[in-house]
Amino acid sequence: MKISLKKCACEGSQYHRIPRAFWMRLFPSRRLYKCSECTSSILARQVEMEALIWQITSEKFLTPSAAEKKPSP
């Protein structure tokens, strides 16, 4: 299992919390996340990942879609 300390390079990916192994509990401020697109594992700070997840979710719902961007005739 390869674990990264940085977020993956996927654009607009979603992250899900997964249970940590025993040795990962030595870093209490970090949690283990898995990317849904590239399945990479990320051991990151909980606050940073929550902010990233919030940003991805808000961009998804607040940006207009391509159909909305076209002017009506």
Q: Give the residue with greater pLDDT, 3 vs 32.
A: 32
pLDDT of 51-73, one tens digit each?
887 887 787 777 766 555 555 55
- Average pLDDT of span 5-30: 79
Residue 24 has pLDDT above 70, yes or no: yes
Average pLDDT, the chain: 76
Residue 13 DSSP SS3: coil
pLDDT bin (cut points 50, 70, 90) of residue 43 is: confident
Helices marked H in the chain — which ranges? 46-62, 66-69
d(CA 1, CA 57): 27
What pTM was estimated for this model as a whole? Answer: 0.66
